[in-house]
Amino acid sequence: MLFNSFTFLVFFIIVFLIYWFPLKNKTKIQNIFILLVSYVFYAWWDWRFLILIILSTLVDYFVGQRLNIEKESNKRKWLLAISVLFNLGLLCYFKYSNFFIDNWVAAWQSIGIQSNVTSLNIILPVGISFYTFQTMSYTIDVYRKELKPTSSILKFAAFVSFFPQLVAGPIERASHLLPQFSKKRTFDYKFATSGLYLIIWGLFKKIVIADTCATYVNTIFDNYENLNALSLLLGAIYFAFQIYGDFSGYSDIAIGLSRLLGFDLKQNFNKPYFSRNIAEFWRRWHISLSTWFRDYLYIPLGGSKGSNVLKIRNVFVIFLVSGFWHGANWTFVFWGLLNAFYFLPLLLLNSNRKYLDTIQVGFSKKGIVTFFNIGTTFLLVTLAWVFFRANTITDAFGYLKRLVVNLDFSFQYLAIERYNFEALLLLLFFILVEWFSRDYEHPFTGRYKKVFVSLIIFLIIVLGVFSEHSNFIYFQF
Amino acid sequence: MNRFIKNCLLITLGIITVLFLLDFMYTKVYKAAFPRNKTQHILSLKEGKTIDYVFLGSSRVENFIMPSLIEDVTEKEAINLGTQGAKLDDMNIFLRLLIDRKVKIKRLFVQVDYIYNFETSSDIVRSQALPYIRSNKIIKDYMKRVDSNFFKNYYIPFYRYASNDYRLGFREFFTSSIDKKSKIDFNDGFVPLLGSITGGEKEVGNLPKTIIETNKSLLEIDSLCVANNIKVSYYCAPFCSGLVSNNYLSKLETKLPNFKDFSQVIDKDSLFQNCGHLNKDGAKVFTKHFIKALDL
């Protein structure tokens, strides 16, 4: 059940009406209802994998309970280990088994030994990387005594499976989301309207921007060997906007849907392509994952404290793990590695916390420098995305090599019967809207917001890609 | 809450109104536009027009037959209505539309090969026909039969354009509204392919091992031709030398008595772009061969 499908629209309208009318002011029953509809939502993909969510919920709930009463340090460590091993075990089995098997076989083959081990027939359960991280963060916080565990298994199960963010985040922290299941929810017009605006903007990003870019990206990446430098450059730019529109669009819809049910989720994207360096980009891109890795991996490893050797190690660990989290393919590992190389000079020069302010641009030397920094950061990020999108490492290098060596910058007519520059016109509009609304969570502000909302709805109808209900990219992670 | 629901209903009402308006606008533009596909071209043909030779088929007609060459050699008018991906059901609808336009066809050539085994229609022709689903009875009946989304396409405003955005979306609407001409001259209808099979691995094409008992669309084409006094000939266009025929064409011959098998008449693979498609030079050679073989 995709957010951009008619089935989901009907599903959500029914949920919304039942939630706010017959169940109004009945917090406990509302929680039961959320849990049930979340399981229905998930089961729509594959009901068999529901058991994994339920298991993960039970393990972390009971570990949390035990951690609360257990005083002995060793026993607490063991309890934490049970949760982490269980969740990472699930993730490793379903997501990484075949990667390790294939590489094991390839390693032996490289020295001339044939291995009989064959790949397993495993389906990746949707959202497994997200909900396992969400439940693990709960247990770790309880272990650290930063969070009091909930005694209600109902609230905890609803927190783990909350359907707006179940399959592709944002990865919520228990300290932020869990208490909201205890509060009485009253309908707030302003809050709900902001949610509706986020849904509309998210749909625009997904259906108009990401899916339009996807048609160009697929053609260009699938035929990169025959295309010129300009097409390849545009292909990389289109992918940068495809993945941004796709994932941030999903996050906006998830946050918007939650608001319609009276819940507040944390921001997941903050105009990342206007970042002035890579460190700022990672503070603005997939914020819930970046902060997860920061709090549960980077800082425990020592963070940016200690010797330069330790700092470098920590940066590489966090980016490699982040790359690997995205998928069981060397392309993601290399993407992570490349970002570590981008980040390292900033860390060593102590510039990684340089841009914490909002982006101010005027007609001045500083303004020009800001634009230059934004452009450079975008270019670096875009080049790294080539590894993220390519099917293999060889394809990624082949793509980049041809981009640099070909030197033909003429407009090409693509196999999709469109010129390679055509989607740029749409992107230009999108960039301008994002730029002028960079201090807000959505562009529907000011005097003319109703006119602009109408325009965006009109553009979704007219320019949206409805012929294929394409999955959200992050569902595969 | 009431205010919120009222606003949501207003938005929904606005969306429905926009859908009606857009549907009306798109349909109007597609109907009035300069033809940008072969369905539109057929619908724009002058009533009562006479065409000596009409060619129906898939890309294996569109890229193979050069009407201009036929006209040069025979001084008779020909039109290539081959459409990429077309099946016999699509040819059936083209023929019905031609008859409906009272076009007098002296001789009809239908290219049949493995498509005999398909009783489905092409989504390209289906989407080309969608703007006329409410205004043309032949198209309405055809869509009712072949389109699994007929109900939605017919009754939900703008659904047909949104769900076919790739072919009927804003881009096509815009180019149609400014009367931008297609690269193809539909009075001729030939679309050349460039490039050729080069060395390396030998191109191979496989025909099916089995053949279906009858093809309903082909039977309908046959009876339409009888009823309208149109002389019809069936033929199979050339394949490259790597064709594995699996005896399919001889089975086809038993189904179609006046069937001409041209599958192996082009022996140079350099005249093919791929095993199933001739390039421009190949089309020229084949068209000449065709004129001679069928004594046009």
Shortest CB distance from B3 goes to which of A189, A457, A466? A189
pLDDT digits (tens, 9 = 90+) for A4-49: 888 999 999 999 999 999 999 899 999 999 999 999 999 998 889 8
Bridge pairing between strands B50-56 and B104-111: parallel
Structure tokens that stand for B64 in this block = 């193979």
Q: Supply the pLDDT for residue A469.
A: 57
Q: Supply the pLDDT for residue B142.
A: 87
What count of Cα atoms within 13 Å lies in the side-chain half-sphere of residue B94? 32
Q: Supply the pLDDT for residue A367.
A: 85
Per-residue pLDDT at B187 exceeds 80: yes
Per-residue pLDDT at B199 exceeds 70: no
pLDDT digits (tens, 9 = 90+) for B133-170: 999 999 999 889 888 889 999 999 999 999 988 889 89
**What is the C-alpha separation between B296 and B289, in angstroms, rounded?**
10
Write down the mean pLDDT value for chain A: 91
Which residues of A fall below an 8 Å CB-CB distance to B? 20, 187, 189, 192-193, 196, 215, 418, 422, 454, 457-458, 461-467
Alpha helices (runs of H) in B57-158, residue ranges in sequence order: 59-62, 67-74, 88-100, 123-129, 137-146, 150-155
Longest dimension (CA), chain B: 79
Coil, strand or helix at B177: helix
- The identity of residue A269, as a single letter, is F
Q: Supply the pLDDT for residue A125.
A: 84
**What is the C-alpha separation between A102 and A80, in angstroms, rounded?**
31
Q: Supply the pLDDT for residue A127.
A: 87
Cβ within 8 Å, pair A454-B14: yes
**What is the C-alpha separation between B137 and B139, in angstroms, rounded?**
5
Q: Supply the pLDDT for residue B181.
A: 83
The average pLDDT across A286-307 equals: 91
Q: Supply the pLDDT for residue A477.
A: 61
The average pLDDT across B248-264 equals: 89
- A466 to chain B: which residues are within 8 Å by CB? 162-163, 165
Q: Supply the pLDDT for residue A285.
A: 95
Q: Band the pLDDT of A476: cuts 50, 70, 90.
A: low
Cβ within 8 Å, pair A461-B18: yes
The average pLDDT across A251-265 equals: 96
Per-residue pLDDT at B201 exceeds 60: no
Q: Supply the pLDDT for residue A475.
A: 64
A286: annotated active-site residue? no
Structure tokens that stand for A326 in this block = 């995205």
**What is the C-alpha separation between A317 and A108, in angstroms, rounded?**
26
**Residue to substitute from B4, B8, B123, B159, interface A, most A β-carbons within 10 A:** B4
The average pLDDT across A189-217 equals: 95
Per-residue pLDDT at B283 exceeds 90: yes
- The identity of residue A333, as a single letter, is V
**What is the C-alpha separation between A83 and A93, in angstroms, rounded?**
15
Write down the mean pLDDT value for chain B: 90
The average pLDDT across B174-181 equals: 88
The average pLDDT across A116-128 equals: 77
The average pLDDT across B53-65 equals: 95
Q: Supply the pLDDT for residue A283.
A: 93
Q: What is the ipTM of this complex?
A: 0.83
Go through the domains of chain B in sequence order and give each one's CATH number: 2-293 (3.40.50.1110)
Q: Does B10 touch chain A (CB under 8 A)?
A: no
Alpha helices (runs of H) in chain B, residue ranges in sequence order: 2-32, 38-44, 59-62, 67-74, 88-100, 123-129, 137-146, 150-155, 159-162, 165-168, 170-177, 216-227, 248-255, 280-293
Report in angstroms the alpha-carbon separations of A469 from A3, A140, A142, A208, A241: 10, 38, 40, 12, 18
The average pLDDT across B263-287 equals: 91
**What is the C-alpha separation between B150 and B145, in angstroms, rounded?**
8
**What is the C-alpha separation between A68 and A146, in angstroms, rounded?**
11
Domain ranges of chain A: 34-107+123-186, 191-276+359-476
